[in-house]
Amino acid sequence: MMLPDPLSQLAELPEENPHYIRAATKMGDKRDVIADQDIFAENGMKLLAKGAKISSHQFDLLTRHKLSTPLDQALATDKPVDGQQLAFEAGKIIEKDALIAKIVSRSGDVLAIKHQLALLVLPPPIQFRLTVMHDQRPSLFAHALRNCIVSYSLAQQLKLSDADKTALTLAALCHDLGEMHTDPELLTSGHVITPQERRYIHVHPITSYMVVHTFPAFSAAACHAILQHHERLDGSGYPYGLRKEAISRLAQIIAIADVSDAVLHRFDLKRLDALFTLLRSRFDPPAVKALRDLLGSMSSEEHQAVVVRDTSVQLAHIADFLQSWLALHAMLEGQINEGASLDSPLGFLFERMESIRALIVQAGLNPDDVQAVQAYGLEDPEMLAELQAMLSEMEWMLFDLANEIERRSPALDGISQEALKDLVFHLREI
């Protein structure tokens, strides 16, 4: 499958992004950041001379002009993040995180990932970007390293070649460099993301790819793994909605490490087990099995979750959503057959809905009896407590479907926008 030109989905080139420039210049308030060469605007105007110290005072100057050279190729800092520091930071994570330590230990050689990181020869602009991330977005930097550690452990378990391990290490480490170009305010707790803002988040794999793809150190395999790490086997991912064999194996491994890290830092192993059970059509089965083998029993109490929503409230949410879908389904039946191509504008929606209905049946509920679904919480609260992880994951699936509908909305022209808005509202009614 031929991919669209990644540049076609970017509103601006990576080096022009004000959020990254703000972080890079703000870093100069805490440590030495200097111009490694003269910095020119694209029109030839000299903005800063070689050797000039950079701080937040230069932010307005650098964002008013389109630069002739990417900013990270023109700046340098003392003691940038390199392979040795990455190995040291990975060691601290392994020491402090019991689950990461378990994964590394069960993968075989506990020192292998540290050795792999220490041997990395990173291009100076990538070192600079990682230094900005470490300094200005430490939680994102830690996430990148945890993903790298888990991805490498999965590669060992899956017996990947040395070349694939190197490509995977680089890709996992740099898969979220594009997040540095996203407004940090969008990701703060309590912020309600608008559909337009969500598009900026969904473009970050393309931005990450554009940052690294010109460097010889990043093989085609590493670049495609970065570009595709949010794609899913069932076509529900982004930025291209790729399916199955169109997604590189390294990207599929990073995806599993990425999701695992997100779940385990908010919930527990039981919730992770529910996710991979419910969403098995989205993730590579051998890689999921490898992760299960590395974690051992996912019913472990090592990672206790914070108590989540009342199950009766969760069931009410699912019942409301089913009622909304029944109304939309009746309207759409005249426009498309449920057996239509999955690539058609509405094919994906019917496919996702059938998957969700199947999961509701798997949970022991009848998706065709909305009242019974809502009443289930009153009949057997003990059984519901056991289903809580599955119900929570099911709600997350509904929220994710709302995002997918908004991503695909231009292709859904001709459908009642009011009906779609109503469906999205019920999907997100959490």
The SS3 assignment for 241 reads coil
138: preceding bond cis by omega (within 30 degrees): no
pLDDT of residue 302: 45
What is the end-to-end Cα distance of the chain in Å, rounded? 37
pLDDT of residue 298: 55
> Beta-carbon neighbour count of residue 202 at 10 Å?
17
Tell which wins on pLDDT, 375 or 99. Answer: 99
pLDDT of 7 over the 90 cut: no
pLDDT of residue 272: 85
Poorest-pLDDT segment among 130-134, 190-194, 224-228: 190-194
Poorest-pLDDT segment among 38-47, 272-281, 287-296: 272-281
pLDDT of 288 over the 60 cut: yes
| pLDDT tens digits for range 57-70 | 988 888 888 888 88
Residue 35 region, left (φ>0) first, then alpha (ψ -120 to 50), else beta? beta
pLDDT of 3 over the 60 cut: no
List CB contacts of 63: < 8 A, sequence separation 6 or more.
18, 21, 22
Tell which wins on pLDDT, 304 or 392. Answer: 392
pLDDT of residue 1: 46
pLDDT-based confidence at residue 305 (cuts at 50, 70, 90): very low
| pLDDT tens digits for range 212-270 | 999 999 999 999 999 999 999 988 898 998 999 999 999 999 999 999 998 888 777 88
For the chain, percent of residues with pLDDT exceeding 90: 44
pLDDT of residue 138: 94
Q: Phi then psi for 182, rounded to 5 degrees?
A: -95, 140
pLDDT of residue 192: 73
pLDDT-based confidence at residue 271 (cuts at 50, 70, 90): confident
> Beta-carbon neighbour count of residue 49 at 10 Å?
10
pLDDT of residue 246: 95
pLDDT of 362 over the 70 cut: no
pLDDT of 303 over the 50 cut: no
* CA separation for the pair 10, 262 (Å, rounded): 26
Tokens, residue 218: 């990043």
pLDDT of residue 364: 62
